[in-house]
Structure 1
Amino acid sequence: MKIDRLVSIILILLDKKRIGAQELADIFEVSPRTIYRDIDTINMAGIPVCSIPGVGGGFEIMQNYKIDKNVFTTTDLSAILMGLSSISNMIRGDELVNALAKVKSFIPADRARDIELKANQIYIDLSPWTGNRNIQVYLETIKTALQERKLLSFEYVDRFGKITTRKAEPYQLVLKGSHWYWHGYCHKRNDFRLFKLLRMSNLQITKDSFTPRDYKKPQIEFDDILDYMQTTIKIRFHTSVMERVFDFCTHENVLKDDDEHYIVNFPFIENEYYYNILLSFGEKCECLEPLRIRTEMKRRIHEIAAIYESRKN
């Protein structure tokens, strides 16, 4: 494709001091006339390519336009490659591929091995182990809508299980913890909302464009709120679930009880989300104190048991 050839020519020109039309034609298996047309296109795109006539002549990018490779240290290039590679696991696109190619073009041959080793020292994979396989497709859809300023339509399940049909203006993709969200202006609620991708279905880009409105960032930092909402409760956990327990607290909050149990000072907020966390541990978890939370756990367990006892089969 022509666009691929143009990008490749630019990368070659960034890498080399000067290269002739015939050499480029041989590399891409096209005629020198095609190369000249490509160079004109690159110039029209705003990248200043000079043509030097005579023996030893050829094409080169103006020196003031080039970035000195030595500007980037080994650590700089490793960090950039690591970040771009991690994002490309979930969000794919020509711009990321081209960005990776451009960054790699800055790597001097004598430092390539060292930079590759450093870039591979940390690997970030944002794709889920299991679950909703639409996430990656939805990310691409939202990214396209962001670029084209198109409304998104979708069905959304709120925290009470109610399904509604929505239309919203996308403004930002957000990765918080291990979950993807997008922030947009919801036409149904007439306000900005943070939508969780796992709660969405039938996501589509509409034909309707929108004019961006004054944007306010979503509140995704809750440290101040947690300081006054969160309390600590005492829980007895079986050793078999301790790996999960450490998703919520640190080792400093854990004391050995006996060979098979630990006593944990567990961070807790009295709402559905946190009660469901405790219930998800099943019989491997016992709330010891405070009494009101222990009593509430007993009530919820009895309600669950009553559902099963109401059916004989």
Structure 2
Amino acid sequence: MKLERLIAMIYKLLNHEVLSAAVLADEYGVSQRTIYRDIDVLCAAGFPVVSVLGQHGGYGIMDGYKMDKALLGSYDVETLLTVLRSLSSVFEDERAQGTIERLQTISANSDGAAGLAVSLETRRVDPEALPKLRTGISERRAVRFDYVRADNERTARTLEPLRLHYKHSNWYVYGFCRTRRDYREFRLSRMLDVRLTEDRFAAHDEGLTDRPPAVYEEDEQTCDVVFRIYPEALSGALDQFPQADKNFHSDGSLTMRLRIHKPLEARWLWSILLGFGPGAEVLQPTELRFILRDHLQKALLLYDGKKD
């Protein structure tokens, strides 16, 4: 414990001009007398710790003292700092903050500015869910929650969480679902009332956590969906369907062709297309046109006050 504190104190001093003994004692939960002894140990070990007198005095590292940068290049350091800062802001992770301080000592940018920024937005997620899930992963504790499936059915689940993902602008958790007795991935925005339990679980085979996603065979379950996008919905469609085949027209509209698994059951696709309003029109398959038309008619009944 003392060794860890001494190492942490070195990096802390490297990243601050002067820190008082009271601040350091509060940071590491020890007495000021212990800090004085730690400073003596660091000086004896050859670290150039200097004492600054006065009202705002304390301890610091001699000007010009730098750590060896041979281990990591400046690009590596700045990239790691960017990612760690984003993770630290999401999880309020003290360990990540400690790593940031250590990396800053070998960063080429003294002001912390970098040409890269990462935002792991959490506005779609219960702010308490991510820390609970991460604790469940690190401490191997099961979590319980209600989950709203794609078909809108709400089910109670118990999960042994193994890994968090951030992809397609959404957070997901992967683990062993005790309810279904199989490995599952859950979208956090659909998880309700996440509760961390005291029920511990054993370590899982690492190979299971790296299983590739299901690959759908090219059969009757997949088909091309073709839709026309009009100018008022152009930017939104490009954001939502970047991998679609695109054919631009002279009037500013765009035809998109996308291979979709079970498009007549893909509610996520319906909601996106309907969200474009008059800016999108499905051309193929015809059955999907009928589905979207029925949804629009039901919505009109709600606003016309004619629904029973």
- C-alpha spacing 1:272/1:285, structure 2 compared with 1 (3 Å): same
Determine if the alignment matches structure 1 residue 285 to structure 2 residue 280.
yes
Match of 1:116 among 106, 112, 118: 112
- Give the distance between the partners of 1:138 and 1:202, measured in 2 at CA: 8
**Aligned residue in 2 for 1:262:** 254
**Aligned residue in 2 for 1:167:** 158
Kept after mapping to 1: 8 A contact 2:21/2:36:
no
Kept after mapping to 2: 8 A contact 1:238/1:284:
yes
Kindly state the Cα deviation for residue 37 of structure 1 after the two structures are TM-superposed.
5.4
Match of 2:144 among 140, 153, 178: 153
- C-alpha spacing 1:149/1:50, structure 2 compared with 1 (3 Å): farther
- C-alpha spacing 1:256/1:95, structure 2 compared with 1 (3 Å): same
- Give the distance between the partners of 2:196 and 2:153, measured in 1 at CA: 23
Instruction: Supply the AA of the counterpart residue of 2:84.
Output: L
- Give the distance between the partners of 1:26 and 1:157, measured in 2 at CA: 50
**Aligned residue in 2 for 1:240:** 232
**Aligned residue in 1 for 2:270:** 275
- C-alpha spacing 1:105/1:3, structure 2 compared with 1 (3 Å): same
- Give the distance between the partners of 1:289 and 1:238, measured in 2 at CA: 16
Determine if the alignment matches structure 1 residue 78 to structure 2 residue 78.
yes
**Aligned residue in 2 for 1:199:** 190
- Give the distance between the partners of 1:104 and 1:142, measured in 2 at CA: 29
Kept after mapping to 2: 8 A contact 1:24/1:35:
no
Secondary structure of residue in 1 paired with 2:82: helix
Aligned-CA RMSD value: 4.1
- Give the distance between the partners of 1:146 and 1:171, measured in 2 at CA: 5
- Give the distance between the partners of 1:281 and 1:187, measured in 2 at CA: 39
Kept after mapping to 1: 8 A contact 2:164/2:172:
yes
Determine if the alignment matches structure 1 residue 100 to structure 2 residue 100.
yes
Kept after mapping to 2: 8 A contact 1:248/1:267:
no
**Aligned residue in 1 for 2:134:** 143
- Give the distance between the partners of 2:204 and 2:244, measured in 1 at CA: 46
Cα-to-partner distance string for 1:213-257 (whole Å, 9 max, x where unaligned) = 3341265656x5487765434322221111111020369603125
Kindly state the Cα deviation for residue 101 of structure 1 after the two structures are TM-superposed.
0.7
- Give the distance between the partners of 2:176 and 2:258, measured in 1 at CA: 36
Kept after mapping to 2: 8 A contact 1:5/1:28:
no
Structure 2 unaligned residues grouped into runs of 5+: 50-65
Kindly state the Cα deviation for residue 182 of structure 1 after the two structures are TM-superposed.
0.9
Structure with greater helix share of residues: 1
Cα-to-partner distance string for 1:259-279 (whole Å, 9 max, x where unaligned) = 5x3333344442323233322
Which shifted more, 205-214 or 246-255? Answer: 246-255
Structure 1 unaligned residues grouped into runs of 5+: 16-22, 43-48, 57-65
- Give the distance between the partners of 1:131 and 1:12, measured in 2 at CA: 35
- Give the distance between the partners of 2:181 and 2:129, measured in 1 at CA: 23
Cα-to-partner distance string for 1:186-231 (whole Å, 9 max, x where unaligned) = 2211111111111111111112212123341265656x54877654
- Give the distance between the partners of 1:262 and 1:206, measured in 2 at CA: 50
- Give the distance between the partners of 2:272 and 2:12, measured in 1 at CA: 55
What is the TM-score when the length of structure 1 is the normalising length? 0.71
Secondary structure of residue in 1 paired with 2:249: strand
**Aligned residue in 1 for 2:90:** 90
**Aligned residue in 2 for 1:45:** none
Cα-to-partner distance string for 1:143-163 (whole Å, 9 max, x where unaligned) = 111122111111111222222
Q: Percent identity?
A: 26
Kept after mapping to 2: 8 A contact 1:156/1:200:
yes
**Aligned residue in 1 for 2:56:** none
What is the TM-score when the length of structure 2 is the normalising length? 0.72
Cα-to-partner distance string for 1:95-152 (whole Å, 9 max, x where unaligned) = 0110101111223xxx334x834x2x11111114x544x1x32111111111221111
